[in-house]
Amino acid sequence: MINKNNSFLIILSAPSGGGKSTILREVLKLRDNIDYSISYTTRAPRGAEENGVHYHFVSEAEFLAKLEAQDFLEYAKVFEKYWYGTSLSYTRSRLAKSRHVIMDIDVQGAAQIAAAGKVPCVRIFIIPPNMEELKRRLVLRGEDSDEDIARRLATAKKELDYIPEYDYLVINDELEDAVSDVLAIIRAEELKTSGNQEAQQDFLQ
């Protein structure tokens, strides 16, 4: 049981290729009270990515119009190249229905949400066991040019400095273990006394 008002954002960040989309997919399969926030981006679809499923792929003009309309909970330019942003209206609508919202966003976006302090959130950073493995996964994915892989690895090194700002660190060595770690974190957040005042009142009645 959880308090019906105890919904929060689940922010996952990881270096590109860190395996967070796979973890996210598994978590969504295993929990039915979580919705995925599909980000807006100005980058082009990669591989089998579909518009409206993996991302809302938009032009720079469309992205800036949404920004002007103040419909981003957070947004950032990632890899000094493309815009990425989280829809404010979508997030609000899901939280209002007492559902958690899980999102895969970069360190700048996670910092913006935490600094604004408007919505309860738990921030989880995911890393592969080492940098070599990260490079191996990016190459294996076969979706990026050599130049993009180099940019992603350079960004990954900088992102590691942000780990202390996160609530939790999950090492994605074995997928199954990483998924159960993320589920355990979510469950622990749900059981926090601060989000369960109604249950405490019910007990007293």
Regarding 106 and contact with ligand 5GP (CB under 6 A), the answer is yes
Regarding 19 and contact with ligand 5GP (CB under 6 A), the answer is no
Give the interface size with ligand 5GP as a residue count (CB under 6 A).
15
In the bound state with ligand 5GP, the residue whose beta carbon lies nearer, of 65 and 200, is 65
Nearest to 104 by CA among 201, 195, 27, 203: 27
In the bound state with ligand 5GP, the residue whose beta carbon lies nearer, of 3 and 37, is 37
Residue nearest to ligand 5GP (CB): 109
In the bound state with ligand 5GP, the residue whose beta carbon lies nearer, of 74 and 189, is 74
Q: What DSSP character marks residue 39? A: P
- The separation between CA 197 and the C-alpha centre of its own chain, rounded to angstroms, equals 27
For residues 71-90, which are near ligand 5GP according to CB under 6 A?
74, 76, 78, 84-86
The conformational region for residue 123 under phi > 0 = left, psi -120 to 50 = alpha, else beta, is beta
Q: How far is the CB of 118 from ligand 5GP (least distance, A)?
A: 16
The torsion defined by the Cα of 142, 29, 129 and 181, in degrees rounded to 10, comes to 170
For residues 32-61, which are near ligand 5GP according to CB under 6 A?
39, 43
**SS3 at position 145:** coil
Integer Cα distance of 167 and 185 in angstroms:
10
Regarding 137 and contact with ligand 5GP (CB under 6 A), the answer is no
In the bound state with ligand 5GP, the residue whose beta carbon lies nearer, of 152 and 190, is 152
Integer Cα distance of 15 and 79 in angstroms:
11
Stretch that binds ligand 5GP, among 28-36, 58-66, 89-97, 99-107 (CB under 6 A): 99-107
Torsion 28-165-105-17 (CA) sign? negative
Regarding 162 and contact with ligand 5GP (CB under 6 A), the answer is no
116's tokens: 């604004």
The residue ranges that bind ligand 5GP (CB under 6 A) are: 13, 16, 39, 43, 74, 76, 78, 84-86, 104-106, 108-109
